[in-house]
Structure 1
Amino acid sequence: MAIITNPILPGFNPDPSILRVGDDYYIATSTFEWFPGVQIHHSKDLVHWRLLTHPLTRKSQLNMEGNIDSGGVWAPCLSYDNGTFYLIYTDVKSRVGAFKDTHNYLVTATDIMGPWSEPIYLNSSGFDPSLFHDDDGRKWLVNMLWDHRKGHNRFAGTVLQEYSVEEQKLVGPVKNIFKGTELKLTEGPHLYKWHGYYYLLTAEGGTQYNHAATMARSKTIDGPYEVDPQNPVLTSAGRPEIALQKAGHASVVQTHTNEWYMVHLTGRPVQDKYCNLGRETAIQRCYWSDDLWLRVEGGPAPSLQVQAPDIAPHPFAPAPERDDFDQPVLAIDWSTLRIPPEESWVTLTERPGYLRLRGMESMISTHRQSMVARRQQSFHCVSETCLEFEPEHYQQMAGLILYYDTMDYIYLRVTRHEDAGKSLGIIQSVKGQYDELLEQEIDVEGVQRIGLKAVIEGEHVQFWYSADGGEWSPVGEKISVIHLSDDFSDYVRFTGTFIGLCAQDVSGSRKHADFDYFSYRETEANAY
């Protein structure tokens, strides 16, 4: 009997929305300030998954320049009806304090690979929108409602409004159909219909260690909704011993073999409470009780290993570990920060076989950073690149970065100092506090090709370098990476660690850096 091993989408892949079309399974996940927007993974058997596509590839669909950290795309919902894929998403412009500016949009496509349409604006009343296609042909949007007023519940409930395909807008009255349970912080609503009931699946308890998935149902779509007497249907709250923490924000699917599964957000602490891989996606097998409530097998706590459905195995070829930058466009695993990859700052054709980055703004910018990065998806991994870069002064930098957001990063970079010349060193930001970690930076004057390597083992990284193809040497001591996590911050944030290539030129002269290759290899603990 085949087994699914969790998480199925490791690394930063939160807020999963699962969809079946025929015998194909898709999961859409949040991308926040990273571009392109929304990751869609594909499976044939729920065991093996591959990153398939990104639907939001144009600035006209997603303009995030200036978006705050952990803004951008929240909680997409992927659905399908009558030959058309529907993707609903939020673009969050502000989120700290009493107000949240959360703009909700819809794009469509007749093929999962696109092209995807220009966005249709829906509303801004709250986040986590979801589209439900009723069997009478009508379509309904639900989203959580935000209330900024003093003394009010900020998570003010789940609102329902009809969507008109013909008019391409929301129509009719808005009704608050569910105020939530005692777990509070009600968000992430999804509607389903089964055996004459409308089921409302919500995320509650907050997206950290009290996170949960709760269920309510009604005979009519606009309520009233009765709460599942055994709520929550899924949570890892109060179970610090289990591997999958933060379980919640779920969606469900019925397989073409008539089995039921729930995908959900989860996090795995690397040390104490710190989940530096970010919030991930796991899956649980479900069943319906005699009184028609959805139950997680072995639940409500999530399991690391789950029985697979009765579907023939369908593995995919493994993703390549090394990118030699031989193609004219970036490979699918790469993301850029807030802005699309345009030839004005990133090119794979100007010097064939190299990724050329023109330096732009600093690591604290929320506008135009020159950074190309991929998710860290294992606690133990080795990333390596080869850099050619001739900086003219200290305002020009390039190298290999571990990046969480503008407040937290660790950066192995090459620059030039007035007296020391071309130098290699480590700079770090922890909660926004800038530091330079080497008392004496490494002299790389005259070195044309500088190898840069990051070896991550659990909660630490060790950097290495080589000069013109020579032996590898360590750079400094091991450095803690736990500040590259949701949980380290003094405020709530939502992404995960990226490993990237970047260049900065805060003088404005856009000095370029060339990267010959990049490799990312997952390892066993203590294997390096």
Structure 2
Amino acid sequence: MTDTLRNPILTGFNPDPSICRVGEDYYIATSTFEWYPGVQIHHSRDLANWQLASRPLVRAAQLDMRGNPDSCGIWAPCLSYADGLFWLIYTDMKRYEGNFKDGHNYLVTAPSVEGPWSAPVYLNSSGFDPSLFHDEDGRKWLVNLQWDYRQREGGDRFGGILLQEYDVERRCLIGPIRNIFAGTEMKLTEGPHLYRRDGWYHLLVAEGGTGYDHAVTMARSREITGPYEVHPDNPVLTTRQDPDNPLQRAGHADLVETPEGETWMVHLCSRPLPGTRRSPLGRETAIQKVQWGEDGWLRLAHGGSAPALEVPMPAVMPSAEQRPPAAEQNYAFQPGALPVDFQWLRTPEPGRLFSLDARPGFLRLFGRESVGSWFEQALVARRQDSWHCSAETELEFEPDDIQQFAGLIAYYNRFKFHYLAVSLNDEGDKVLGVMSCHDEWPSGRLDIAEPGVTLAPGLPVRLGLDIRERELQFRFAQGNDEWQPIGPVLDAGLLSDEGSGRAHGYFTGNFLGMAAHDISGRATPADFAGFRYRRRHR
């Protein structure tokens, strides 16, 4: 039994949390970017132990990300509950780099997080991070940042927070569009949420960018349209001046109140590898206890503005404890749906990528476009959520030529991956080798470890990898042979938001999984018998 809760509460790639409560049930929605299905919703009854409950965007009419660049797709969803319905607002970002952003904002609703979720209502495209506020008088308001594509001296392209009313009956935005908050000197003002308390409208935003200057700003006004005065002790949450805090990049937050009257803040964070600024687990979700002062402003309950790694256990679970994840997860592939931890990339037509029915007991991947394709890539993977972990699978695959390859992959994006793949060599022998892509501008650098290992024909091959903080080592075995390493020790820190030689950062996290590629266009199948994931302390 313990009286403290340890952060983060959602480990591995789970950024941009939005939280709501329905009775005694709590729900957090997080961004999924290019990974399909869209949006993760976790459920808890105690704010400490969370289970994945739903990924609601499962139909092409709701989400089709084919062609979306890396780190585009679902940005910063907002989940709320009102009028007997869950309301989910989300952005499908179609362009990231450059002066312009093409991000389209939608609304879907459902009576339960398990669905059925409605067809989407298009809202606007003026900027990302949309959020829906349900006011006490029944009116509903959308807030989102305004994207300003113009390059201005000393400025940024985050053009303030826009407010517009949403008409439920007409299913559209109505009335004037108002810019209600220009932000503070930290700039890059985004991630808005509105709350009402004691006659005040409280506006919470993220500022400083999603890197190591990230922060939470609060402001308030008597009128929803403003003007908004900034918190006297702003920022409310940040690690921008706390480089030794284990929870870095703290920002992008949301608030929830318990039935007991406590207020809690969930927020984005990352945990860099020791001695680095590289976070292969991506941006995660943490929670902090906050309290309203006599002056009506919100502050961290433990004081200051830095997030705490451990916080007092919520009153909703005074006699319980936070349960750690299982040390090992063995996934069997049965006809029907994928195990819930797995996702794929971009497409609403997964039947073109994989099948669990074609060969019962196996996951069959149909080799499609090249590794890193923005359209159709047969890659099925789960999040890395521990600095020290292992993954294993068994593969049956008979390639016809060098353009067909399949195997075990550690994948961040098209320019950052390590891939243990079976293919053919020029002599027609089936070989196992390692491919690594290093994120160098403008097109990356693909390293292929030559000559690879010749495999015994007609036998499955077991593929494995071990990650220990910054190091990744592949291994393999056939028949009754013992595991043996293959290829060099690789840089696991490369597979991170910050592990980048490109002009811009990224927003996701490392995934471990199975892949098949056939750039000849013949969709050569590869069969995987199960998948094992193990978390280690060291």
TM-score (norm 1): 0.97
Q: Secondary structure at the match of 1:451?
A: strand
The residue aligned with 2:179 is 176
Equivalent of residue 158 in structure 1, options 161, 171, 176: 161
Once residues 283 and 341 of structure 1 are traced to their aligned partners in structure 2, the CA distance between those partners, rounded to angstroms, is: 35
Once residues 325 and 438 of structure 2 are traced to their aligned partners in structure 1, the CA distance between those partners, rounded to angstroms, is: 35
Deviation at 1:365, TM superposition (A): 1.1
Does the 8 A contact of 2:392 with 2:533 survive in 1? yes
Q: Secondary structure at the match of 1:15?
A: coil
Equivalent of residue 472 in structure 2, options 461, 465, 470: 461
Once residues 211 and 524 of structure 2 are traced to their aligned partners in structure 1, the CA distance between those partners, rounded to angstroms, is: 41
Equivalent of residue 279 in structure 1, options 270, 277, 283: 283
Once residues 444 and 221 of structure 2 are traced to their aligned partners in structure 1, the CA distance between those partners, rounded to angstroms, is: 51
Does the 8 A contact of 1:44 with 1:314 survive in 2? no
Question: CA-to-partner distance for each residue in 1:158-208, whole Å, 9 max, x for gaps?
Answer: 000000000000000000000001110000000001111000000000000
Q: Is 1:388 aligned with 2:388?
A: no
Once residues 140 and 200 of structure 2 are traced to their aligned partners in structure 1, the CA distance between those partners, rounded to angstroms, is: 16
Once residues 337 and 228 of structure 1 are traced to their aligned partners in structure 2, the CA distance between those partners, rounded to angstroms, is: 41
Q: Secondary structure at the match of 2:11?
A: coil
The residue aligned with 2:376 is 368
Q: Is 1:523 aligned with 2:536?
A: yes
Stretch of structure 1 that moved more, 194-203 or 476-485:
476-485
Once residues 366 and 145 of structure 2 are traced to their aligned partners in structure 1, the CA distance between those partners, rounded to angstroms, is: 41
Letter in 2 for 1:60: A
The residue aligned with 1:90 is 91
Deviation at 1:318, TM superposition (A): 5.5
Question: CA-to-partner distance for each residue in 1:25-80, whole Å, 9 max, x for gaps?
Answer: 00000000000000001111011111111110111100100001110000000001
The residue aligned with 1:216 is 219
Does the 8 A contact of 1:132 with 1:192 survive in 2? yes
Deviation at 1:364, TM superposition (A): 2.7
The residue aligned with 2:244 is 241
* Unpaired stretches in structure 1, ≥5 consecutive residues: none
Stretch of structure 1 that moved more, 373-382 or 417-426:
417-426
Question: CA-to-partner distance for each residue in 1:449-471, whole Å, 9 max, x for gaps?
Answer: 10000101101111110112421
Q: Secondary structure at the match of 1:118?
A: coil
Aligned-residue sequence identity (percent) comes to 52
Q: Is 1:477 aligned with 2:477?
A: no
Once residues 59 and 26 of structure 2 are traced to their aligned partners in structure 1, the CA distance between those partners, rounded to angstroms, is: 25
Does the 8 A contact of 2:5 with 2:322 survive in 1? no
Does the 8 A contact of 1:27 with 1:42 survive in 2? yes
The residue aligned with 1:424 is 432
The residue aligned with 1:263 is 266
Once residues 34 and 308 of structure 1 are traced to their aligned partners in structure 2, the CA distance between those partners, rounded to angstroms, is: 33
Does the 8 A contact of 2:469 with 2:493 survive in 1? no
The residue aligned with 2:508 is 495
Does the 8 A contact of 2:401 with 2:428 survive in 1? no
Does the 8 A contact of 1:400 with 1:502 survive in 2? yes
Stretch of structure 1 that moved more, 182-191 or 445-454:
445-454
Question: CA-to-partner distance for each residue in 1:398-445, whole Å, 9 max, x for gaps?
Answer: 000010111111100000112161000000111143434423210104
Letter in 1 for 2:512: I
Does the 8 A contact of 1:404 with 1:497 survive in 2? yes
Does the 8 A contact of 2:353 with 2:376 survive in 1? no
Q: Secondary structure at the match of 1:482?
A: helix
Once residues 342 and 438 of structure 1 are traced to their aligned partners in structure 2, the CA distance between those partners, rounded to angstroms, is: 31
Does the 8 A contact of 2:369 with 2:517 survive in 1? yes
Equivalent of residue 513 in structure 1, options 526, 529, 534: 526
Q: Secondary structure at the match of 1:329?
A: coil
Where in structure 2 are the equivalents of 1:304-319 lying within 5 Å? Answer: 304-312=309-317, 313=320
Does the 8 A contact of 2:353 with 2:377 survive in 1? no
The residue aligned with 1:303 is 308
Deviation at 1:309, TM superposition (A): 1.2
* Unpaired stretches in structure 2, ≥5 consecutive residues: none
The residue aligned with 2:127 is 126
Where in structure 2 are the equivalents of 1:432-447 lying within 5 Å? Answer: 432-447=443-458
Q: Secondary structure at the match of 2:92?
A: strand
Deviation at 1:447, TM superposition (A): 4.6
| RMSD of aligned Cα (Å) | 1.4
Deviation at 1:94, TM superposition (A): 0.6
The residue aligned with 1:197 is 200
Question: CA-to-partner distance for each residue in 1:339-362, whole Å, 9 max, x for gaps?
Answer: 135333311111000000010000
Does the 8 A contact of 1:4 with 1:46 survive in 2? no
Does the 8 A contact of 1:414 with 1:424 survive in 2? yes
Stretch of structure 1 that moved more, 115-124 or 335-344:
335-344
TM-score (norm 2): 0.95
Q: Secondary structure at the match of 1:487?
A: coil
Once residues 221 and 250 of structure 1 are traced to their aligned partners in structure 2, the CA distance between those partners, rounded to angstroms, is: 20
Q: Is 1:141 aligned with 2:142?
A: yes
Equivalent of residue 290 in structure 1, options 287, 294, 309: 294
Aligned length: 525
Once residues 433 and 283 of structure 1 are traced to their aligned partners in structure 2, the CA distance between those partners, rounded to angstroms, is: 37
Stretch of structure 1 that moved more, 316-325 or 140-149:
316-325
The residue aligned with 2:346 is 338
Once residues 188 and 352 of structure 2 are traced to their aligned partners in structure 1, the CA distance between those partners, rounded to angstroms, is: 43
